[in-house]
Amino acid sequence: MSLRTRWCRTLTAAALAICLTTGIPFLASPPTVAVAEDAAATKPIEKGLRVYSAGHSFHVFVPGQLAQMAKAAGIKDHVLVGLSSIGGSRVIQHWDVADDKFKSKEVLKSGKADVLTLAPIHLPDDGIEKFATLALEGNPNIRVTIEEFWLPFDIYDTTFKQRPAKVDHNAPTADDLRKLHAPYFKSMDEHVVELNKKFGKQVLFVVPAGQAIIALREKIIAGQVPGLKQQEDLFTDPIGHATAPLQLLVSYCHFAVIYQRSPVGLPMPQALAAAKKPEWDDKLNLLLQELAWEAVTQHPLSGVKVAAAK
């Protein structure tokens, strides 16, 4: 079963009914692999975009790496117009920050952003809708990306208050990880569908970072990842902060969604080269790119479609 089929089946009947009745183009067809592949391929974005980012430590490395990737891809005029960084934050905390400290509202109101990247932890999170509404007022064509991340501590805790005494990142199987993340992915997907229905068009797009990470961890378990022997090689601590390979996988997912193009073939990034680990080589970089592209093109809410193979 493909990733796209698996994720589509996690949507509830209610969410699917929304998809079929709103008339929103990207959700107008039944969510099956065949239909998705028959749709016209998404055209890559060639022009540099103005990006504002708001997120926590599982996200804030993305803006800098995204800029490097855009430059490496020959995309001119990519600009980071602002960053709101708050550790362990829900989106609403970025909205509520005093005196618009990070200038997020000012930038969005002025229409100076083409893309807004957000990184929720768990729902409910009113900040997503508030930011998307404000962003649309400033730029009716803005795209808002939602990073679906990897669960902290490898546990599903919607309160984000549990702190396990011991975390063994090597313990879960791929099936364990899929089952663990399923309710989180499902809740985020449904919220994106709901908000897009409310806006009357696709405004919010999913960046399936968490799904790509599960695919990577599955390959590590199978011994198929050059330079990474154990799942714990992806993390710096029990909560799950990312080492360079994991950061790059996440950033490649964002690049693919934001610029609607494959990261496959981009040169060795600075983050891997600076790590001074010979085992983190071009083969690893290529695998990260391929996994990111697969995750993005197979997620029904990423906004990125590829032509069906003939």
Whether 157 has a pLDDT exceeding 60, the answer reads yes
More confident residue, 90 or 14: 90
Predicted confidence (pLDDT) per residue in 227-273, tens digit: 999 999 999 999 999 999 999 999 999 999 999 999 999 999 999 99
Q: 40 pLDDT band (50/70/90 cuts)? A: confident
Give the strand pairing for 143-147 and 204-207. Answer: parallel
Q: What percent of the chain has pLDDT over 90?
A: 85
Residue showing tokens 């803006």 = 63
Mean pLDDT of the chain: 90
User: In the chain, what are the domain boundaries?
Assistant: 3-298
Q: Which residues contact 179 (CB under 8 A, 6 or more apart)?
A: none
| Rounded Cα gap, residues 233 and 243, in angstroms | 7
| Rounded Cα gap, residues 251 and 244, in angstroms | 10
Query: May I ask the CATH architecture of the domain 3-298?
Result: 3-Layer(aba) Sandwich (3.40)
The SS3 assignment for 43 reads: coil
Mean pLDDT across 149-159 = 97
**Predicted pLDDT at 4:** 52
Nearest to 302 by CA among 165, 147, 111: 147
Whether 114 has a pLDDT exceeding 70, the answer reads yes
Residue showing tokens 């961890």 = 217
Amino acid in the structure at residue 253: C
Whether 112 has a pLDDT exceeding 90, the answer reads yes
Put the strands of the sheet holding 115-118 in their side by side order.
79-85, 50-55, 115-118, 143-147, 204-207
Whether 61 has a pLDDT exceeding 90, the answer reads yes
> pTM of the entire structure?
0.88
Mean pLDDT across 108-112 = 98
Mean pLDDT across 106-114 = 98
**Predicted pLDDT at 3:** 53
Whether 170 has a pLDDT exceeding 90, the answer reads yes
**Predicted pLDDT at 36:** 39
Nearest to 90 by CA among 149, 50, 134: 149
Give the strand pairing for 115-118 and 79-85. Answer: unpaired
Whether 206 has a pLDDT exceeding 60, the answer reads yes
Alpha-carbon distances, residue 11 vs 4, 82, 191, 303 (angstroms): 11, 33, 11, 17
Q: What percent of the chain has pLDDT over 70?
A: 87
